Structure 1
C-alpha cells in the first residue's frame, strides 16, 4: 500500500493529550492501518487514515471513552468502473467535551457528578440517582460545590 494512500480523515478538534495518545495507540496496535498524513490546523489536528472502517470504529471508541461530539460523513471520491461501485472517502469529526469523568457540573440547576460518556452523558445527583443528559444541558458548576 502506498504510504500516502488514505480512505478517510479524522478531524480532531481541541484535542487533549490523552485523546491523541489513545488514537496513536489504537493505530500502532494494527498492522493493516497507518496514518498517511497528519496536518495541524488552528483548531486541532487532521489525521488521514488508510482504513475508513477502522476510522469509523475509532470515532465510536473516542466518544465512548471520552464523550464529546462525533459526526461522520461520506463523500463520493471516485467510481470503480471494473466493479461498477462508488468509492467514498469518510470524514469523522470529533471534539472532546469540556469536562471529564468525576467532574461536577450544573444540569438544569442540579449538581451532577459525571460517571460515563456515550450518546448521552451519565451522572449521579446528590441523592445518588442516575441522571442522563446531553452536553448542551450543562453549565459550569459554581465554585465550592460538591
Structure 2
C-alpha cells in the first residue's frame, strides 16, 4: 500500500482527512462541546423545570439536571453511532459537576471525547405554584343536588374525583390543573379551579359516575391583550334520588338501584324492573330509604300473600309476597313501612344498627 505524506505534520499515513492525516484532523475536530457553567431553574415546591420559556414536569433534581445537560450538549453533525454517558457529581445541594463522555464514529474512525460542566441550581416558584398559592382560579365548580342537599359521602366523592382528575391532567401537561380552594356551603361545596378546561372535564366525570347534569355560566372579569377575560361557573346538579331511596312515582313504589343518566330501580309491589331518567322523575315523592327497613315476624305464608306483624302496631297484616320469597313462617324478615303500605324485601342485606 502506498503511503501518503501529511502536508501539515509531514508524517506518513494511509489516507488523508480533509487533506491532513488522522491525528492532525482530530486535533482541531470538536466532537462535543459543553458550556463551562449551566444555570437550571427548578420549582422549590413541585420540582418542575423551566425549559425553553415554559415550566415542565420532569422528575427528580438529577433527572432535571441531566436533561438540561443533554439539551445543551453539542455533538458534531458528522458523528454517527453516538453513545453518550453522563456522570453527575454533587458538590453542594445547589451545585453539581456533570461529566459527559461520548463515543462516536466520524469518517469511519472511532472517536472518544470528554467534557465537563458546572450546573448551578436556582430554586424558585413556578407559574403554577405561584398561582395556586395566590388563590388563582379560572372557574368555580358548584356542587349541588336537585331537591336536597348533597350528602357528606357525595361531597367527599366529588372532591376525590376532582383531585384525581387534576393530578392526571397535570401529568398530561395542563399545569393549571389544580384546586386552589374548596369551600363548604350549606347547600353543597364550591371548588375553585385553576384550569377552565380541566373543570369541564371534572364536571363530566362527576356526572358520569354520580349522575345529574351541569351547566356553564361565564362572567367577564377583565381584559388582557385586547381580549375579554372570563371566569366560568359550572353548576352541577346531582340527582334528586340516590341508590337506596324508595319513591312513589305514577302510583308505584320504586326502590332506586342506580342513578345516572338513566335511573334504574325495581317495583316493591311486583318486582318488575323500572327504568327512567332524572328529568322524568321530577315530581316523584321520596317515601323512605332502604336503610329504614326493620325486621319483623313472618306469621304465615299464603299463595300470593304473606302475613307479618306491623313493626309499629304489632298487628297482623297481609302484604303481597315478593318474588323469589323463600323464608319460613315464624322467622324474621326485613320489611319497609311507608305511607303507601308495608313491603317485604327480598335479597336484602339487613342494615347495621345506627
TM tier, smaller: 0.7 to 0.9
- Contact in 1 for aligned 2:239/2:260 (Cα 8 Å): no
CA RMSD of aligned residues (A): 2.7
Query: Normalising by the residue count of structure 2, what TM-score does the alignment of the two structures yield?
Result: 0.36
Give the structure, 1 or 2, with the largest relative contact order (CA under 8 Å, sep 6 or more): 1
The counterpart of 2:282, out of the listed 136, 139, 144, is 136
SS of residue in 1 equivalent to 2:282: helix
In structure 2, the gaps of 5 or more residues are 1-127, 289-337, 346-354
Rg (Cα) greater in structure: 2
Aligned equivalents of 1:109 and 1:40: distance in 2? 38
Unaligned runs of 5+ residues in structure 1 are none
C-alpha contact 1:75 1:90 (8 A) present in aligned 2: yes
C-alpha change, 1:139 and 1:8, in structure 2 (3 Å) is same
Structure 1 residue 98 displacement after superposition? 4.1
Shift of 1:97: 3.4
Range that drifts further, 105-114 or 90-99: 90-99
1:18 to 126, 130, 153: 153
Tell me whether 1:92 sits opposite 2:234 in the alignment: yes
* Alignment CA distance shift 1:106-1:98 (3 Å): same
Runs of 4+ in 1 over 4 A off after TM superposition: none
- Tell me how far 1:16 sits from its aligned partner: 1.8
Offset of residue 50 of structure 1 = 0.9
Aligned positions of 1:30-49 closer than 5 A: 30=167, 31=170, 32=175, 33-49=177-193
Alpha-carbon separation, structure 2, partners of 1:103 and 1:41? 24
Q: Does 1:118 align with 2:249?
A: no
Further displaced range: 22-31 or 118-127 = 118-127
* Length-normalised TM-score, structure 1: 0.76
